[in-house]
Amino acid sequence: MELTRQADYALRCVLETARHERISARELAARQELSPSFVGKIVSTLARAGILETHRGASGGVQLGRSADAISVLDVVEAVQGPIRLNRCVRTPPACALVDLCPLSPVIREAQDAMTTAFSVTLDVLLERDRDHRAAWDQALEAPAEPTPI
């Protein structure tokens, strides 16, 4: 399973939006090096899902529709590409009559559960990781260079 390009870009846009109180769609597109028209489509989709809010006018822009601790990676992905399912046997109800007899079904269910758990990480956790990563990067850049041994 591979996330769609739209889901990937939606995640990037939501994270960038979360870094700011409010950001214009144009700046969002520029910061993420994405097409403004594609960002507009993504923002509209995420706004319909309640993940983002849009505001028109001079002080308008895009902001989170809920707090960062109430938006998960799974919320964003499913808002743009629909429910993520590894196979039809993990649907509710299962779309396969053999699900109870199939030895592969429990393996697929376990993989589905693991993916859902991993994608349940919320934006606040990702933002904290991002701040830690950026701080470590800045610290590494400020550290004096080690002399190169001859």
Q: Which of 120, 133, 125, 118 is nearest to 15 (CA)?
A: 125
Task: Reply yes or no on whether the pLDDT at 37 is more than 70.
Answer: yes
| CATH dotted code for 1-84 | 1.10.10.10
Q: Which pLDDT score is estimated for 80?
A: 96
Q: What is the Cα–Cα distance from 103 to 34, expressed in whole angstroms?
A: 44
Q: What tokens does 104 get? A: 């592969």
Name residue 122's beta-bridge partners. 72
Q: Which pLDDT score is estimated for 88?
A: 80
Contacts of 39 (CB under 8 A, 6+ apart): 9, 13, 25, 28, 29, 32
**pLDDT, mean of residues 42-68:** 93
> What does the mean pLDDT of the chain come to?
88
Task: Reply yes or no on whether the pLDDT at 150 is more than 70.
Answer: no
Confidence (pTM): 0.82
Q: Which pLDDT score is estimated for 49?
A: 97
138 pLDDT band, cuts 50/70/90, is low
Can you give the residue ranges of every domain in the chain? 1-84, 86-121
Evaluate whether 49 touches 81 at the Cβ level (below 8 Å): no
